[in-house]
Structure 1
Amino acid sequence: MLSYRHAFHAGNHADILKHLTWLGVISHLKQKTKPFVVFDTHAGAGEYPLSSEQALMNREFDSGIARLENLTPASALLNDYQTIVNPLWQAGIYPGSPVITTMAMRGQDTAHMMELHPTEFPALQKNMSEQNKQTPTSANVHLHYRDGFEALIALTPPTPNRGAVLIDPPYEQKSEYEKVTQSVDAMFRRWHNAQVVLWYPLLSDRAKDKVLACQTMINSVSKLGKTCFSAELTVAPNTYDAGMYGSGVCVVNPSWQLDEHLTQAMKEVCKAMGESTHFSLNWLKHENS
Structure 2
Amino acid sequence: MLSYQHAFHAGNHADVIKHVCWIGVINALKKKDKPFTLFDSHAGAYCYDLNDAMSSKNKEYESGITRVNNTDASSSLLSDYLNLCSTFLAQERYPGSPVISAMTKRNNDSLHVMELHPAEFDKLNHNLNSLRVDACHVHKRDGFEGLRALTPPKPNRGAILIDPPYERASEYKDVVNGVTQVLKRWQQAQIVIWYPLLSARAGAKHGASEAMCDALAALDVPCFKAQVCVTPNTEDAGMYGSGVMVLNPPWQLDVQLDSALQEAVSHMGAHASSSLVWLRRDA
TM norm structure 1: 0.96
Counterpart CA distance in 1 for 2:259 and 2:239 is 24
User: Secondary structure at 2:160's aligned position in 1?
Assistant: strand
Deviation at 1:226, TM superposition (A): 2.5
Tell me whether 1:72 sits opposite 2:67 in the alignment.
Answer: no
Q: Tell me, which stretches of 5 or more residues in structure 2 are unaligned?
A: none
For 1:163-174, what aligned pairs fall within 5 Å after superposition? 163-174=158-169
Deviation at 1:286, TM superposition (A): 1.0
User: Secondary structure at 1:273's aligned position in 2?
Assistant: coil
Deviation at 1:287, TM superposition (A): 1.5
Partner of 2:107: 107
> Any conservation in 2 of the 1:225–1:252 contact (CA below 8 Å)?
no
Deviations 1:126-155 (A, max 9, x none): 2212323xxxxx230000000000000111
* The one of 173, 177, 188 aligned to 1:193: 188
> Any conservation in 1 of the 2:46–2:128 contact (CA below 8 Å)?
yes
Counterpart CA distance in 1 for 2:71 and 2:130 is 28
Counterpart CA distance in 1 for 2:183 and 2:258 is 27
Tell me whether 1:119 sits opposite 2:135 in the alignment.
Answer: no
> Any conservation in 2 of the 1:164–1:196 contact (CA below 8 Å)?
yes
Partner of 2:152: 157
User: Secondary structure at 1:139's aligned position in 2?
Assistant: coil
Deviation at 1:205, TM superposition (A): 1.1
Partner of 1:135: none
Letter in 2 for 1:181: V
Tell me whether 1:264 sits opposite 2:259 in the alignment.
Answer: yes
Q: Give runs of ≥4 in structure 1 deviating > 4 Å.
A: none
Tell me whether 1:281 sits opposite 2:279 in the alignment.
Answer: no
Letter in 2 for 1:174: A
Counterpart CA distance in 1 for 2:148 and 2:82 is 33
Partner of 1:219: 214
Deviation at 1:79, TM superposition (A): 1.1
Partner of 2:37: 37
User: Secondary structure at 2:7's aligned position in 1?
Assistant: helix
Tell me whether 1:98 sits opposite 2:67 in the alignment.
Answer: no
| Percent identity of equivalent pairs | 51
Letter in 1 for 2:127: N
> Any conservation in 2 of the 1:125–1:143 contact (CA below 8 Å)?
yes
Larger CA deviation: 250-259 vs 224-233? 224-233
Partner of 2:140: 145
> Any conservation in 2 of the 1:222–1:250 contact (CA below 8 Å)?
no
Counterpart CA distance in 2 for 1:21 and 1:69 is 17
Deviation at 1:69, TM superposition (A): 2.2
Counterpart CA distance in 1 for 2:256 and 2:135 is 28
Deviation at 1:225, TM superposition (A): 4.8
Deviation at 1:70, TM superposition (A): 2.0
Tell me whether 1:59 sits opposite 2:59 in the alignment.
Answer: yes
Aligned-residue Cα RMSD (Å) equals 1.0
TM norm structure 2: 0.98
Partner of 1:131: 131
Letter in 2 for 1:34: K
Counterpart CA distance in 1 for 2:29 and 2:220 is 18
Deviations 1:131-190 (A, max 9, x none): 23xxxxx23000000000000011111101111000000000001011110010000000
Deviation at 1:210, TM superposition (A): 1.1
Deviation at 1:121, TM superposition (A): 0.1
Deviation at 1:57, TM superposition (A): 0.2
Partner of 1:239: 234
User: Secondary structure at 1:38's aligned position in 2?
Assistant: strand
Letter in 1 for 2:126: K
> Any conservation in 2 of the 1:225–1:253 contact (CA below 8 Å)?
no
> Any conservation in 2 of the 1:113–1:142 contact (CA below 8 Å)?
yes
